[in-house]
Amino acid sequence: MTSTIPGFWAVIPAGGSGTRLWPLSRRAAPKFLLDLTGSGQSLLQTTWSRLAPLVDDRVIVVAGSSHADAVRRQLPMLAAESVVAEPTPRDSMPAIGLAAALIERRDPDALLGSFAADHLIEDEPAFHAAIREAVVLARAGELVTIGIEPTGPATGFGYIRQGAPLGIAEAERGRRVEEFVEKPDLETAKRYLASGEYRWNAGMFVVQATTLLELLALRHPDMVSVLRMIAAQPDRLYELWPSLTAIAIDHAVAEPAAAARRVAVVPADLGWDDVGDFQSVAGLSDGHGGPTGIVALSGVDDVVSVDSTGVVSAGSGRLVALVGVEDIVVIDTADALLVTTRDHCQDVKKVVTTLAEQGRTELL
Amino acid sequence: MTSTIPGFWAVIPAGGSGTRLWPLSRRAAPKFLLDLTGSGQSLLQTTWSRLAPLVDDRVIVVAGSSHADAVRRQLPMLAAESVVAEPTPRDSMPAIGLAAALIERRDPDALLGSFAADHLIEDEPAFHAAIREAVVLARAGELVTIGIEPTGPATGFGYIRQGAPLGIAEAERGRRVEEFVEKPDLETAKRYLASGEYRWNAGMFVVQATTLLELLALRHPDMVSVLRMIAAQPDRLYELWPSLTAIAIDHAVAEPAAAARRVAVVPADLGWDDVGDFQSVAGLSDGHGGPTGIVALSGVDDVVSVDSTGVVSAGSGRLVALVGVEDIVVIDTADALLVTTRDHCQDVKKVVTTLAEQGRTELL
């Protein structure tokens, strides 16, 4: 049994466009609102389910204003004030910062953990254990991140270089973060992997709300003032929000704090996946069934395969027939069809770019 | 200018299911009714246009009863009696044989040429010239076929082994046919090609109507009696037709006649194409335009390509996006989608077989 962590809040920034998952992921129905694993739950719902045992009803979801209603529909158990609609996109720092300011007003000693709405974690007990250690470190004043055990020389993630153990009781795994590094090229990623010193940065942060705002105030004092003003007078959200700088929490807080040796990491092996592209989705969906060699994300009865392998989403009610194609990815929707291969899933976002350039906004 | 050939009739058996062109070609809309080249004309209309300069209104199209109305709509210039609806499929011999019997009644000295409704010929003047020579030979009592100059060791066609020149005036190219041979394997096809003695059998026959029926009567006298009976009393078509044996003209007449040295060939290089599969269709459609590397059979504005090559028919009004796929074939229709490669186009018929086995007749 998992018990909740007193004073610990979950913040779920529900953003990201998921353009590599087009045409399933759209502006109006982004990745976090989709059930990409066939579990019957969207990634957002899965994220909430994973956190609820730790926080009870202490949750704040920050979503774009065009998605806030969908978030409320998917998570009807949330209180009205638990869903915050951003008037305009301002990247992750204002979103998480506003949640911190709101939480700080409710409980000056509160801690928060911020977790993307569109990632998956296979090993929930390991996740809960890592968060409990992170909370111990956060109570000691650290900005704490979770360092994901790399399973390969990935070039799509940022990395965390970990330093010496911190030796804090009940957080034995905790280590100093030497630095955050940007997405590396393949050679660098291989070197990181071989060294054993690097971890994937999954964008998870556990910290006291007040500590986060103090760290932010070191470089962006005006932003902290505005965020606390909105938290005190929520009616002024639409008036004050546009003045906030669009910036990611990594640049605004995490990297400078690491340089100031204020960041800790809890290394963990969680079965984490960012569900970044169809290659990733296929790996999560091996239980979906389908003809031999085919992972059917949906519409399994509408797939006919002759000597083919790959991933198919037959979501439009039409028959999808594959003949002699290998490692193919076919995503069939009512108004758009994608045909690519497992090796080219990263390039799907180029289609979205092209459609945007062509002004075909109805397909974005 | 081309002048018509007195007493020469064109017979167009409009059959064949075109299963390798599924999902464009369907039972209700078979290959010959489709515009597969982007010319604005169906293959049937193109066939008629090619023959009209030789025959004027002396044309008989024999089609399945479910397609006869579509034939009439596509060729509204034809007289009512020029479209014959077969009550049930009986392969090519009864269809062409009935046309011969009908023609023989109108003109006992008439000649006929039989030409598939769903092939293409690029060099029309060369075709007309070959037919004129064939007619000369047919008047001399020969069953005459056109021997297509092979452009490669094709395994999808039957071959004609040609013998000595016949030395008939105004048909200087005419040669004896030694034998018809079935579709060869690749090694045999290469040997045929290297020998220079073999030609592709495109199923074109030119012959006096009476000669054809006499040759048929050698082995199938009852069939000839029934065909002449129907020609005399068209009202009895539905009563008498079911008694006819289903057999191809090749087996019923051409092969035995070749053994009896009654068959001649006019070798010709016509730019002939049987439009057998999407590989073939793509080769005919290079003028269609489309993004770089892509032949768009339809819906060119609905195709987005990123680093891809191949053939796309975007016929459903939906966007078709290709990312990093090579030599791909994507045929998008309202109720079915095909994804294959140029090298696997021959196997598309296996999808049709599978759907038939599954009882999904609405998709056939």
The complex scores an ipTM of 0.86
Cβ <8 Å between A354 and B306: yes
Nearest partner of B44 among B125, B118, B115, B143, judged by Cα: B118
- Give residue B285's pLDDT: 63
Q: What is the pLDDT of residue B290?
A: 72
Confidence at residue A272, expressed as pLDDT on a 0 to 100 scale: 95
Q: What does the alpha-carbon distance between residue B57 and residue B61 come to, in Å, rounded to a whole number?
A: 11
pLDDT at residue B297, rounded to an integer: 87
A279 pLDDT above the threshold of 90: no
Give the pLDDT confidence score for residue B287 in this predicted structure.
54
Tell me the C-alpha distance between A94 and A102, whole Å. 12
pLDDT at position B282 is 83
Q: Does B359 touch chain A (CB under 8 A)?
A: no
SS3 for chain B is: CCCCCCCEEEEEEECCCCHHHCCCCCCCCCHHHCCCCCCCCCHHHHHHHHHHHHHCCCEEEEEECCCHHHHHHHCCCCCHHHEEEECCCCCHHHHHHHHHHHHHHHCCCCEEEECCCCCEECCHHHHHHHHHHHHHHHHCCCEEEEEECCCCCCCCCCEEEEEEECCECCECCCEEEEEEECCCCHHHHHHHHHHCCEEEEEEEEEEEHHHHHHHHHCCCHHHHHHHHHHHHCHHHHHHHHHHCCCCCHHHHHHHHHHHCCCEEEEEECCCEECCCCHHHHHHHCHHHCCCCCEEEEECHHHEEEECCCEEEEECCCCEEEEECCCCEEEEECCCEEEEEEHHHHHHHHHHHHHHHHCCCHHHC
B280, two tokens = 């073939």
| Contact at CB, B337 and A320, closer than 8 angstroms | yes
Mode of pairing for the β-strands spanning A319-323 and B303-306: unpaired
B341 touches chain A (CB under 8 A): yes
**Chain A nearest C-alpha distance from B189 (Å):** 24
Q: How far apart are CA A260 and CA A179, in angstroms?
A: 10
Give B144 or A300, the one with higher predicted confidence: B144
Query: With contacts defined as CB-CB under 8 Å, which chain B residues touch A22?
Result: 321
Is the pLDDT confidence value at A13 over 80? yes
Of B307, B333, B350, the CB nearest to A323: B350
Residues 69-128 of A with CB under 8 A from B: none
C-alpha distance from A284 to closest chain B C-alpha (Å): 22
- Closest partner residue to B306 (CB to CB) among A330, A336, A351 is A351
SS percent in chain A: helix, strand, coil, step 5: 40, 25, 35
**Contact between B325 and A339 using a beta-carbon 8 Å cutoff:** yes
Question: Domain limits of chain B?
Answer: 8-273, 285-363
Q: B264 pairs with which residues across the strands? A: B144, B176
**Tokens standing for residue B57:** 């209104």
B66 touches chain A (CB under 8 A): no
For A305-348, the pLDDT digits (tens) are 999 999 999 988 899 999 999 999 999 999 999 999 999 998 99
When scoring A25, A339, A348, A353 by the number of chain B Cβ atoms within 10 A, the one with the most, hence best to mutate, is A339
CATH superfamily of B8-273: Spore Coat Polysaccharide Biosynthesis Protein SpsA; Chain A (3.90.550.10)
Nearest CB among A323, A338, A340 relative to B340 is that of A323
> Is the confidence at residue A36, as pLDDT, over 90?
no
Task: Give pLDDT, residue B116.
Answer: 96
A328 touches chain B (CB under 8 A): yes
Q: What is the pLDDT of residues B226-255, one digit of tens each?
A: 999 999 999 999 999 999 999 999 999 999
Q: Which of A304, A335, A341 sits opposite B325 (nearest CB)?
A: A341
Residue A286 pLDDT exceeds 90: no
Closest-CA residue of chain A to B360:
A319
Tokens of A226: 């505005």
> Does B356 reach chain A within 8 Å, measured CB to CB?
no
Question: Sheet holding A310-314: strands in order across?
Answer: A294-298, A310-314, A328-332, A336-341, B319-323, B303-306
> Taking a C-beta distance cutoff of 8 angstroms, is the pair B193, B153 a contact?
yes
Which residue bears the tokens 């129907």?
A: B230
Measure in Å the smallest separation between the Cα of A115 and chain B Cα atoms. 31
Say how many CA atoms lie within 13 Å of A250 toward its Cβ. Answer: 14
Element (H, E) at A52: helix A43-55
What is d(CA B193, CA B205) in angstroms, rounded to the nearest whole number? 22
Mean pLDDT over A5-12 rounds to: 98
What pLDDT shows up at residue B338? 97
pLDDT band (50, 70, 90) for residue A66: very high
Contact B321 A335 (CB under 8 A): no
Q: Which residue of B has its CA nearest to A337?
A: B320
Is residue A320 less than 8 Å (CB to CB) from chain B?
yes
- Confidence label for A298 from pLDDT (cuts 50, 70 and 90): confident
| Cβ-based contacts of B277 with chain A (< 8 Å) | none
- Which residues of chain B are modeled with pLDDT < 70? 1, 285-289
